Structure formats: C-alpha cells, structure tokens
Structure 1
C-alpha cells in the first residue's frame, strides 16, 4: 500500500468479512469478498451492499450556502428543492471537468456535496474559495467522520424497508433524500446508484454503519467489492475522474453537457462506449481507424460481466465515434456501442446515473 493511501473507517470490518483489500484511486478498498462474479450476479438479480465511503462528503450550511454552491459548481443548485438531490460538475479555468458531484439538499440551508474520491482536496478548496466576505456559511469536510453504505439492485427498495427504515422506499423517488433514524442515530438516505440499478446511499456514523453492514451480511445480503462494481459502472457508462476524465475533457467531450444541463464547451471528440473482441486492454491504448490512423485512446476497460465481453469507454474523434463503427485497439476489433451498454428493462428501475 503506497504512503498516503486513505483507509476506510470500516476497513477492519471488511477484512473480518473476508474482503481482499487493495488501493484504488487513493483509497484502500475491498476488491472482492471471494467471487466477483457472484457479487455482480447478486447486484443484477437481487441486491448487494457496498461501502462507497471513498467518495468525498462536504457539508455546506448557512444562509449563503447556495451562493457558495453557485460559485463553485456549474449548473443551477439554486433550483434544488429541500429533499431533492442533483448531479453537478465542477469546472476548471479552461472549462474542463474538474469533479462530478452529487448535491443533496438535506434541509432549508444545508447541502451535502459528494464528489469523486481523488478530487476531495480540490472540491474542498473550491467550496472554501467561493465563500465571499461577510457570508454566513460553514464548509465542513465530513468524509472522515461519516460512512456511505449503498444498497443497490432490483430488490434494494424491499431490503431497505426490511432492514433500514420501513418508510424510506415510499418516501423517496429517484434523486430524493431524507433524514431518518437508525437504532436511535440520525442518518441520511439518498435514492440513487452508480451501478445502473435502483439504490439507496445511506450516510451514517462509522459505528452505526458497521452495525448495519453486519446486520445486512447476517441477513444473507451479499457484499460487493470494487471488481464487481467497476463492471457495473462501465456497463452503465458512468465516467470516473480517473481514468475517464483526467485527460481534461469538456462537458461535451465527456457526453455530460445535456445530462447536467450545462454548456458543452470544446467539441471534436467524445467519450464513447465500446465492446472489444479479446481481453481488456490497458488505459491509454491507442484506438485506430481502418487506415491505421490514431483516432483516440482507451480509458476505462474491464471485463463486463453482464455482457461476457471486454468493454469500456474511450476518447474518440467524434467523426469516428458513431455506434456501429469498427475500430482497432491494441490489435483487437473495437466496436463503438450506444450508451448505456447495460439497461435494465424493468419499469421504474432503469437509471442512467
């Protein structure tokens, strides 16, 4: 483990439950609890629980909280009603994506901002820099003092009602949030998922999260690690800061401008989804056209368990990135595909991020 790698508050709990741990994106995380394929199958067929505490969590509270969010984020956080959550972007000076965040308005002037794990420091800096003179606001990093557990899958609502809080599924539509009590402790639920499945993000104190994780495991709910979750993320075509956005992509190039409702900026290439004949290739593998000319490069690439094939996201010249285009990556045939690569065909459960 490299120096400076962050440890999850529940790291010892995961090890006790059989997790194999390793560093990913600056955090020591569970890779698998034994069989990634079974963990993936449980996600798609029923429900899994996993620890997403590697994502940053910053509370912005006070009468000028929304002004701070407007100063730090692209989009319109002022339109976020109490009890609602939304996706926003942080842009750098060139207009490129610097972070992707989920903002939940937990109270009248209280917002939880959750971002990419490797952008925690930059998110906190940008929020603090947006505090103007005389503002009535508090910006507090809650990443180390809270945990974020997720229940995701077709049965997520039923299991949340059974083991967490009976009223939660009925109260929460997608991208809604609500405070609740679990065994006498105050917690927050946000109905969303980064897996392409229905899900509930539960923000709790570490001691409460440890108890809940143990309760879910004892009830037979599978725990899922990074390997299964990465397969689901790529199949849902949800970009990660590293490796997808790190090269410096505009919202249009990342194919997120319409989804986030923000200006697209620079065009000419796009983060496209693909299927690959053969095994996964490494990040940065050149993507070439039939004439051998490089038209892009591979970013995320995994064995997609739901597709039984290698798949991923690649930055490709827009003219060569239409669905059905046949290209080459590392000597293997690459087929550009429509997003998402996996779509649940059940009313009310399909989500694109």
Structure 2
C-alpha cells in the first residue's frame, strides 16, 4: 500500500479552478489549469502564479550554522550576506549530487535551506547527520540547530515581466532595491512574507514564503492584482518547459547521485577556497581536474530540425553510424522557439555548439538535431 499524496493549503482552490492534478514527489499538485502552452507564454510575456508549497524548507540557527553549511554543502554559505540567497548543492562523499538547493541568510545566526520536494527528507537527514560529524573525535558537533520547517510554510511564486508591478501594488517593500537572489521580510496584501527575488522560469519574478493559513488569502489578492496585466494560474507542466528553455537543471534528470556539479557544467558552485574540509571535497577535486582535461561527457542543448519530440532516456546517436554518443535528460516542445528542444549528456567530441551529424533515436527513427549552447532562452534584462 502506498501513502496517499499530501495536499497543499491551496488544494481546494486549485480544484475549484479546474486544475488537472498530478502526484508529484508525494504531493497532489496542479499540472495545468488549461493550456500549458498558454500558461508558458503568459509567464514569458505577462505573468504566471504558481503554488510551490511542495518544496522543502529547513531552518538552521545558532553560532555555527554558517560553518555547518560550509561543511555540509559545496558552497561558501558563511560568507553570504544577510538578506541574500545562493544557489548551491549538497553532495555525497563521492561527489554525487544529493540535491540542488537555494540557501537564504535570514539573519546573522539563521539560514533557510530550500530543497526539492523529492529530496527534502534526504537533505534534512544529511544536514542532521553532518551537524555532529566534523568534531566526532572531540565528542561534540557544530553549535547549530537543524529544524524541519516543511509544515511551517506555503510557497507561492509570481513569475514574468509583469510580476514586479503586480507585487508593488500589494506591498510597501522596496522591490526596486531587491536584487536577484535576495530576500527581505515584508507584508504582501497584509500577509507577512519572506519576499525573495528568485525563480525557476528564466524570467524576473518573486517567491513568497508565508504561513499555510495565509496562502489562499494571498493567492486571491495576487490574482485580483494581476487581472489587468493578464496574470494566469500556472502549473508544473509549464514550469518544466520554462526551466528547460532557460537551461536550468532538474534533479533526477540533469542532476543525480551519478553526476557531479562539474559533469553538469556547474562547477562554479563548488568553492574549494573556503576554509576547512567539506563533504565530497576530495572526489570533487578529482572531478574538477577530469572536467578540465578529459571530460567523458558534457551537458549540451539540442534543437530539433523536425517536429518530433525527444524525451528523457532517449539515445543521442551519431547520424551516420548510429553509434550511441549520449542520452537525453529532458526534452519537450519549446513554445518560445516553436520547435522541440532537449538537454542531453553527450560524448565530449560531439559537445561543441554547431557540431553536425547528431541525431536522437525517437522510437527507432534517427531525427536530426543541432547541438547548441545552453540556455535556449535568455530574457532581456
């Protein structure tokens, strides 16, 4: 018997809006409300409103909370300024990625770690274990507390070029001064919130962390404020095509325990210059050297010459010989480009943008694809 999926505080509202629901990482979540293409294009040109309450929040507090994160994660989080956020990863001892994360520094002694829903328990367990690991010989751990706050938050996101205007009509917070990857406490439509300028769509936007009991009130206020500019409720389906166009990795696809940050072209998040040891350092140093000198495969973008859509797990082949040279990790029709796109790991010899003679095996037919640099789409700042 499997556990029944969890429901967010907005579940009844989603159903009233006619959302198609789906089980995602143990949560019943809105996949789409109508046309996923229309939702996608609304986010690119106007604004979309998302329920992301399935994400996992973990709070770290105490004098050595930053030191614990420096040891447990690959980034240098103790150097993060209060009010700023950073994209980072947590790896195992072999350098494999357990999850990619966003960490917010809420105060001198307080951090908020946001994990993917499917990995929230893994991240919580790893942080709890690593809290006591470094100083085991002295019988003590880091002077920090790790707290599971997954039930303390609902998370709403407003994404798209009109998102700033929508939010400004509901808050006195200084949004013009709020930089990308930063957050500040404030109120939105009278609701206390952590207002973060972050997102997973490739557009400007905001993520709002609020108490679950305030989620419906805030959703309705955002919906009303966005009526004049075409804001639409948006589901996980368009969120996936938006992040794919923006070249953003998805855990379980581009990122797994079998890949390191360097395999995924994200070695920049690993900070070898921070003080002290961290989990996976030795393995990641070897991965960095391998990536610089003799990488076996690289993550690339693929754009279709035809109309057939590749999916995760499809083989990438050399068109002339049929030799397998890689594997698709994510693929979908791109509403912005008007043609199918994919991300794939391919042999390094075929990874240069413009490489000819590459195809994807789609149900036995070798469909021609062009190798391109990521991302497929980048918004005009």
TM-score, normalized by length of structure 2?
0.86
Task: Report the Cα offset of residue 18 of structure 1.
Answer: 2.0
Distance 1:112 1:4 in 2: 28
Kindly name which structure, 1 or 2, has the bigger radius of gyration based on alpha carbons. 2
Distance 2:15 2:327 in 1: 36
Count residues with an aligned counterpart. Answer: 345
Task: Report the Cα offset of residue 90 of structure 1.
Answer: 0.7
Task: Report the Cα offset of residue 259 of structure 1.
Answer: 5.1
Report Cα offsets for 1:17-39 as digits up to 9, x if no partner: 22110123443211111121221
* Structural RMSD (CA): 1.9
Task: Report the Cα offset of residue 2 of structure 1.
Answer: 6.0
The aligned residue for residue 77 of structure 1 is 77
Distance 1:26 1:65 in 2: 29
The alignment partner of 1:139 has SS state of strand
Q: 1:58 to 1:12 in 2, by over 3 A?
A: same
Q: How does 1:187-336 map to 2 (within 5 A)?
A: 187-219=193-225, 220=227, 221-246=231-256, 248-258=258-268, 261=271, 265=287, 266=290, 267-276=295-304, 277-289=306-318, 290-326=320-356, 327-330=358-361, 331-336=366-371
Runs of 4+, deviation exceeding 6 Å: none
TM-score, normalized by length of structure 1?
0.92
Task: Report the Cα offset of residue 145 of structure 1.
Answer: 2.4
Report Cα offsets for 1:81-131 as digits up to 9, x if no partner: 111111111111211221110000011111010122211111001110122
Q: How does 1:164-183 map to 2 (within 5 A)?
A: 165-182=171-188
The aligned residue for residue 56 of structure 1 is 56
Any unmatched runs of 5+ in structure 1?
348-353
The alignment partner of 2:258 has SS state of coil
Distance 2:297 2:353 in 1: 14
Confirm or deny: 8 A CA contact 1:87 1:260 kept in the other structure: no
Q: Does 1:341 align with 2:351?
A: no
Confirm or deny: 8 A CA contact 2:173 2:186 kept in the other structure: no
Distance 2:191 2:224 in 1: 21
Report Cα offsets for 1:51-107 as digits up to 9, x if no partner: 122221111111121122122100211110111111111111211221110000011
The aligned residue for residue 351 of structure 1 is none
Q: 1:20 to 1:343 in 2, by over 3 A?
A: same
Report Cα offsets for 1:291-319 as digits up to 9, x if no partner: 22111111111111111111121111111
The alignment partner of 1:158 has SS state of helix
Distance 2:260 2:158 in 1: 32
